[in-house]
Amino acid sequence: MAGSAWGRYFRVMTFGESHGPALGAVIDGCPPGLSLDQALLQQDLDRRRPGQSGVTTPRSEPDRVEVLSGLFEGKTTGTPIAMVIYNQDADPAAYDHLREVFRPGHGDLAYFLKYGTRDHRGGGRASGRETAARVAAGAVARAFLAEHGVRVIAGTIQVGSVVARSRDWDEVERNVMRAPESEAAELMEALVNELKEEGDSAGGVIEVLARGVPAGLGEPVFGKLDADLAGALMSIGAVKGVEIGDGFETASRRGSENADPIFSDGEGKVRTRFNRAGGILAGISTGEDIIARIAVKPTSSIGLEQQTIDRQGRSAPLEIRGRHDPCLCPRIVPVAEAMVLIVLADHLLAQRAKTGIPGPAGSLPPPPLEK
């Protein structure tokens, strides 16, 4: 309960620091009998891995995941699945110049104030490196959800002022920005490279899509599906905002503009015309696509000089050396997917606990034929 675990039914606890021996995740509650292909786990980790392209940090980590428990003859046993990723290219010496100063925009100062102690080596637990453990856990959730027809994918839809105008989700893995539109991807990449050259960095927006989610997931009041998604996504470092469906746009609409008629598609499936709600009404999935967007701030580690203070409280100018991503979006994409996968797996089990069915307990007849 102390902050490093997520989920009630599909429970994920992670551990590990950026420059310690290893990172990892333990999943308690994964159903038994699930086929788990370690190559598929690795595939997700490879997408988050540093050093993939010019727009990511050059730190070189194979991020090889080892499954230590919960798997027998290729299938989950129902007991905790522990996964560990040993750090290989940790370079704590590169952080020696940070031992005495606090980097602006980072957790350095907040962690020091919180704990009265400090692991200055690359952010310790606050480093983006902790997300490797999330991705490992998310990959297990992905395997579980795939069996129930659920697919989750994310993409970079904005970097700086460049905004993707369309969504071709198959495009995402074809460009280094992980944008769902090739043209926008090129402009984004050019912008990031330009900023990188200047010692600067770029923010952006990521959209996550969950397709095939059965209606009925989510709990009333505090355990709403969108509440859990918002918490899970906001828990990713550098994320400063979350919206579901039409999000902040709805604030300037009137009710009649935001209305979304319900209709039956003629085959017993109930639909909403515009899916303005992003697949969630009153905190419960409707069966429509779930859509969430997150705001990612520009990387705080920049080469340009910033003002800060040191541990004696003295002001200290700082130029951050070391290896950093000029734009975090491409690598946060798989992390955002992982968090959505974990949340959905958790809620699918919650619904199954309550009703025995991992989906809707109620159903509607198809509309009567009309003459």
Restricted to residues 318-347, the positions that interact with a copy of itself (CB under 8 A) are none
Q: How far is the CB of 136 from a copy of itself (least distance, A)?
A: 13
Residue numbers 220-239 binding a copy of itself by CB under 8 A? 220-224, 226-235, 237
Taking CB under 8 A as the criterion, which residues in 231-290 touch a copy of itself? 231-235, 237, 240-264, 268, 270, 272-273, 277-278, 280-287
Is there binding between residue 2 and a copy of itself (CB under 8 A)?
A: yes
Pairing of strands 306-309, 11-16: unpaired
CB burial string 62-87: b at 16+ within 10 A, e below: ebebebeebbeeeebeeebbbbbbbb
Look at the alpha carbons of 303, 307, 308, 309 in this order and tell me if their dihedral is positive or negative: positive
Q: Which residue, 152 or 230, is less far from a copy of itself as judged by CB?
A: 230
Closer Cβ to a copy of itself, 190 or 361, answer by number: 361
Strand partners, 294: 206, 242
DSSP state of 182: H
Render 325-352 in DSSP notation, one character per residue: -SBSHHHHHHHHHHHHHHHHHHHHHHHH
Of 46 and 219, which CB lies nearer to a copy of itself in the complex structure?
Answer: 219
- Mask of contacts with a copy of itself, 78-107, x by CB under 8 A? xxxxx-x-----------------x-xxxx
Site map (CB under 8 A) of a copy of itself, residues 178-197, x = contact: -----------------x--
Asked if 17 and 78 count as a contact pair (C-beta separation under 8 A), the reply is no
Which residue bears the tokens 């960095």? 201
Quick check: 203 binds a copy of itself (CB under 8 A)? Answer: yes
Give Cα 43 to chain centroid, integer Å: 16
Q: Which is nearer to a copy of itself, 170 or 365 (CB)?
A: 365
Q: Does 365 bind a copy of itself (CB under 8 A)?
A: yes
Return the residue of 115, 149, 190, 197 that touches a copy of itself, per CB under 8 A: 115
Whole-Å CA distances, 46 to 56, 61, 259, 331, 340: 13, 10, 42, 10, 18
Say how many C-beta atoms besides its own lie within 10 A of residue 312's C-beta. 7
Q: Is residue 165 near a copy of itself by the rule CB under 8 A?
A: no
Contact between 110 and a copy of itself by CB under 8 A: the answer reads yes
CB of 153 to a copy of itself, least distance (A): 20
User: Contact between 23 and a copy of itself (CB under 8 A)?
Assistant: yes
Residue number, 125 or 170, with CB nearest to a copy of itself:
125
Establish if 212 lies at the interface with a copy of itself (CB under 8 A).
no
Backbone φ, ψ for residue 130 (5° rounding)? -60, -20
Q: How many Å apart are CA 45 and CA 76, to the nearest integer?
A: 19
CB of 51 to a copy of itself, least distance (A): 20
Please, what is the Cα angle at 142 between 138 and 144, to 5 degrees? 115
Nearer to a copy of itself, 170 or 370 (CB): 370
